[in-house]
Each structure stands twice: as C-alpha cells, then as structure tokens.
C-alpha cells in the first residue's frame, strides 16, 4: 500500500512539475517559458474558451507575435486576423462579425497605419474608405450612408 501511495505521489508531482515548466508567462508584452523571465518563448501559442473552443492562436518568435494572429468567436469563426512582424503590426488586419462577414480591413507597416482602410456595415455596404501613409491621414477619404450614397469626401 505504501509503495502505491509513494508511486502516486511521485507521478503526481512529476506531472505537476512538467505542466508548470510548459506554462508561458507574459510580462511587459513579451512571452517567457519560465517564471523568472529569463527564457523568451518561441513556438505556437493557443488559448481556449471554457467550452474548449479555440479563442486565440498565434506564432511567437523570441517572445513576440510573428505572422498570423487569429482571435476567434466562441462559435469557432474568426473575429480578427492580424499580421505581425517582430512583435509589431505589419500587413493586413481584418475584423469579422459572428456570421463571418468582413466588417473592416486595415493595413499596417512597421507598426504604423499605412495603406487602405475600409469599413462595411452589417449589410455589406461600404461605409468608410480611408488612407494612411506612415500613420498620417493621406489621399481622399470617403464616407457613405446606410444606402451606399456618398455623403462625404475629404482630401488630405
């Protein structure tokens, strides 16, 4: 009986230690593999809702997001799809509603707003078209009403 008890305790603590060593610690925008924050994490990172559905998935390189970063609704459909390079926004950032319809699209370059930005309403009508260059408003910005009629046009 004592042997079984000690075997159980040994196995329990072995599993507990292994689980703790695989946990990821977040501090000051970086992900680490240890509580002392000395080893930056690289690899896949996933987070789940209480129901077990995927909530977030991303790749990490040297403690920072790298590549695709996807946030999900609890129904399993994507809510946001972002692109990162070296921990900074770089590329497209798309936002969807729970039905899976694209409702916004933005472009970033080196963590700055850069390129075209679009916003659609729940009916699929484009409501805004904006342009940025190095995080500054640029080009012509447009705004449409709920029927798709152009109601504002402004140049920067």
CB atoms within 10 A of CB 98: 10
Structure tokens at 126: 């484009």
Biggest distance spanned by C-alpha atoms of the chain: 82
**Is residue 61 within 8 Å of residue 84, measured between CB atoms?**
no
Q: What is the mean pLDDT of residues 29-42?
A: 90
**Is residue 65 within 8 Å of residue 53, measured between CB atoms?**
no
pLDDT of residue 9: 34
- Percent of the chain at pLDDT > 90 equals 76
**pLDDT band for position 136 (cuts 50, 70, 90):** very high
Q: Spell out the domains of the chain, with CATH numbers in brackets.
A: 42-155 (3.90.930.1)
- In this structure, is the dihedral angle defined by the CA atoms of residues 116, 96, 125 and 152, taken in order, positive or negative? negative
pLDDT of residue 6: 38
CB atoms within 10 A of CB 113: 20
Mean pLDDT score across all residues of the chain: 88
Q: Phi and psi (nearest 5°) for 127? A: -105, -30
């Amino acid at each position: 009986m004592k042997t079984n008890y000690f075997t159980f305790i040994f196995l329990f603590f072995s599993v507990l230690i292994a689980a703790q060593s695989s946990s990821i610690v977040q501090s000051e925008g970086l992900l680490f593999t240890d509580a002392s924050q000395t080893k930056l994490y690289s690899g896949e990172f996933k987070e789940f809702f209480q129901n077990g559905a995927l909530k977030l998935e991303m790749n990490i390189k040297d403690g920072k997001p790298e590549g695709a970063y996807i946030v999900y609704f609890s129904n399993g459909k994507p809510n946001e799809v972002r692109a990162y390079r070296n921990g900074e926004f770089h590329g497209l950032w798309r936002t969807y509603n729970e039905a899976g319809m694209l409702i916004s699209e933005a472009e970033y370059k080196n963590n700055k707003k850069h390129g075209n930005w679009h916003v659609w309403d729940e009916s699929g009508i484009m409501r805004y078209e904006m342009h940025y260059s190095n995080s500054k408003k640029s080009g012509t910005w447009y705004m449409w009403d709920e029927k798709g009629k152009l109601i504002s046009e402004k140049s920067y």
